[in-house]
Amino acid sequence: MGLAILSLSLTLRICEWWTMNVMDIEANAIKTGGEPMLSDAYTINGQPGDFYPCSRQGVGPIAPAKVKFLLRSPSPQSVPTQIDTHLVIAASVNFLNTSGAGPFGRRFAASLNNVSFVPPASVDILQAYYKGINGVYTTDFPEKPPKGFDYTGKDLPGELLVPEFGTRAVVLEYNVDVEMVLQGTNVLASDNHPMHLHGYGFYVVGWGFGNFDSRDGPLGYNLVNPPQERHQMWGMSAVIVVKDGADSETKLLPPPHDLPSCSV
Ligand SMILES: *[C@@H]1O[C@H](CO)[C@@H](O)[C@H](O)[C@H]1NC(C)=O
Ligand SMILES: *[C@@H]1O[C@H](CO)[C@@H](O)[C@H](O)[C@H]1NC(C)=O
């Protein structure tokens, strides 16, 4: 009997598909304060699959083991293990207290560690940092949820619904190694929150269900060949200011001469 070792490389593009103009989805959600319209189908490599009537013949299921295999980098990575800053960030869907098309006639809001970020109206944060302008943002974003609760519990108390509104930012020294735990919550409703981080790559060293366990959770981290992520996205925001390094290569560049003014 022989042993065949199969080496398989497969690229999967996982998408959502709408029958309408996708630009109208965000515009409509902003206008009404309600939920963005759900997609008409999910696709894998452009095919909606067996659950939808319009798939091409021969589109087969993909075994989860293969997908899992893809979530590894092909070669060992140098993942930092001496961590300078630990952040635990709880992501919640909340309400504004103004009326809109969300449940109970209110507008949806969202928060990270109970802070719903309000972009500064006059000066943007990069300019404020570069020019040392005070009063545009504060540097006290909480490094963990201000009040712990059973994040993924059922029937969470209504007092969790309304967050604080403000411009709190995380401020990090240049070149520190950061561990960021993203904790989903059941506040209002559980949801998937794909994340992206502008300007920095990050390793996805683990994931799981329920509440993060700071003692046992890290034992399951993949510190050998985790995937490195460069782009994911979602509509909640928080600001992390990484301070300038020592030399010109590691400092924030001046704004371009044609930077449009955003003052109102
Ligand atoms: C929410 O309501 C309170 C009191 O009714 C009001 O003072 C506050 O400005 C409101 N906040 C927002 C974001 O609308
Ligand atoms: C979130 O902030 C609001 C407003 O300051 C506060 O009433 C509420 O208790 C906070 N919730 C949590 C879970 O920290």
Q: In this model, does residue 174 exceed pLDDT 80?
A: yes
The answer to whether residue 3 is domain-embedded is: no
**Residues 227, 99: one domain?**
yes
What own/partner pairs with CB < 8 Å and gap ≥ 24 does 28-36 have? 29/108, 32/100, 32/101, 33/96, 33/98, 33/99, 33/100, 33/101, 33/102, 33/106, 33/107, 33/108, 34/100, 34/101, 34/102, 34/107, 34/108, 35/101, 35/102, 35/108
Express each pLDDT in 102-112 by its tens digit: 888 888 888 99
Express each pLDDT in 57-78 by its tens digit: 655 555 444 444 456 776 788 9
- Domains: count for the chain: 2
**Residues 91, 185: one domain?**
yes
**Residues 214, 127: one domain?**
yes
Predicted local confidence at residue 152, as pLDDT = 92
**Residues 91, 188: one domain?**
yes
Predicted local confidence at residue 177, as pLDDT = 95
Q: Whose CA is nearest to atom 10 of ligand 1?
A: 97
**Residues 22, 94: one domain?**
no
Distance, CA 160 to ligand 2 centroid (Å)? 6
Does the C-beta of 146 come closer than 6 Å to ligand 2? yes
**Residues 97, 121: one domain?**
yes
Does the C-beta of 112 come closer than 6 Å to ligand 2? no
Rounded Cα gap, residues 92 and 161, in angstroms:
9
Q: In this model, does residue 232 exceed pLDDT 50?
A: no
Please report which ligand is nearest the Cα atom of 107: 1
**Residues 145, 112: one domain?**
yes
- Rounded mean pLDDT of 147-166? 89
**Residues 62, 104: one domain?**
no
Does the C-beta of 258 come closer than 6 Å to ligand 2? no
Predicted local confidence at residue 175, as pLDDT = 92
Q: Whose CA is nearest to atom 6 of ligand 1?
A: 97
The answer to whether residue 190 is domain-embedded is: yes
**Residues 184, 128: one domain?**
yes
The answer to whether residue 164 is domain-embedded is: yes
Does the C-beta of 161 come closer than 6 Å to ligand 2? no
Distance, CA 264 to ligand 1 centroid (Å)? 22
Q: What is the pTM of this model?
A: 0.71
Does the C-beta of 163 come closer than 6 Å to ligand 2? yes
Q: Which of 7-16, 230-239, 243-252 has the lowest mean pLDDT?
A: 230-239
The answer to whether residue 6 is domain-embedded is: no
170 burial (CB, 10 Å; 0-12 / 13-18 / 19+) is buried
- Rounded mean pLDDT of 87-93? 93
> Range of 30's domain?
14-70
Q: Whose CA is nearest to atom 9 of ligand 1?
A: 97
The answer to whether residue 63 is domain-embedded is: yes
The answer to whether residue 161 is domain-embedded is: yes
**Residues 201, 235: one domain?**
yes
**Residues 158, 244: one domain?**
yes
- Rounded mean pLDDT of 154-170? 89
Q: Cα Rg for the chain, rounded, in angstroms? A: 22
**Residues 124, 18: one domain?**
no
Residue among 62, 39, 64 nearest 50 (CA): 62
Does the C-beta of 98 come closer than 6 Å to ligand 1? yes
Predicted local confidence at residue 137, as pLDDT = 93
Does the C-beta of 97 come closer than 6 Å to ligand 1? yes
The answer to whether residue 260 is domain-embedded is: no
